[in-house]
């Protein structure tokens, strides 16, 4: 895992990077960019650092869509718990009784559980995505034995932490560009983080 080379990767072909950034700005169309990020991850699993070509557009769109579906499934349970917790508090507030300490006690554990499960899901999700990309089989995103085995290793943990930090920094810096900065930062940061994670998983 080479952090410096991973940071350089999105900019190794400016034309390809610009295309990805522009597509990332537009809702729905940004699924092409997500698919491209996954194709970059596929190359990283093969220990290649060149950016893929912008071709096979249908495959890119489908990959981006399936990536979104997998993420939704992984975050579904934490999301439901969060909605229940918020609903409990809101019902208490709008019931005319004002602040209800009992409702807070009931919602508190749900908030904590939603946070813990959400963090767990976010941590193992890249491992699931990479396993799907590697096996080229949707069900591989839910092969929990393989996914957890790779996720709970030192190399994956370091790559995840470094990738997350870089993502936050890149998005924070580029978010100062009105309207489009967040999308540009997301595309750039995800290329970098999936390069790090792909190379780490390739060594496991």
pLDDT tens per residue, range 90-138: 777 676 555 566 667 777 888 999 999 999 999 999 999 999 999 999 9
41's enclosing H/E stretch is helix 30-45
Q: What is the pLDDT of residue 89?
A: 78
Helix (H/G/I), strand (E/B), else coil: 108: helix
Residue pLDDT, tens place only, 18-39: 999 999 999 999 999 999 999 9
149: left (phi over 0), alpha (psi -120 to 50) or beta: alpha
Helical pair 101-135 and 144-151, crossing angle rounded to 10 deg: 100
- pTM for the full model? 0.89
């Amino acid at each position: 895992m080479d952090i410096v080379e991973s940071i350089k990767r999105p900019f190794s072909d400016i034309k390809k990077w610009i295309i990805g950034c522009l597509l990332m700005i537009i809702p729905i169309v940004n699924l092409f960019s997500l698919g491209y990020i996954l194709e970059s991850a596929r190359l990283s699993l093969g220990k290649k650092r060149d950016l893929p070509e912008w071709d096979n557009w249908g495959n890119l769109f489908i990959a981006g869509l399936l990536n979104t579906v997998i993420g939704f499934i992984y975050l579904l349970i934490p999301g439901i718990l969060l909605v229940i917790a918020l609903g409990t508090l809101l019902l208490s507030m709008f019931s005319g009784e004002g602040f209800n300490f009992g409702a807070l006690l009931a919602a508190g554990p749900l908030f904590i559980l939603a946070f813990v499960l959400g963090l767990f899901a976010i941590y193992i999700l890249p491992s699931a995505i990479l396993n799907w990309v590697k096996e080229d089989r949707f069900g591989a995103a839910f092969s929990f034995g393989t996914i957890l085995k790779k996720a709970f290793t030192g190399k994956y943990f370091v790559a995840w932490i470094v990738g997350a930090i870089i993502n936050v920094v890149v998005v924070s810096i580029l978010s100062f560009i009105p309207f489009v900065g967040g999308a540009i930062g997301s595309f750039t940061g995800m290329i970098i983080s999936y390069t790090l994670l792909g190379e780490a998983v390739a060594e496991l």
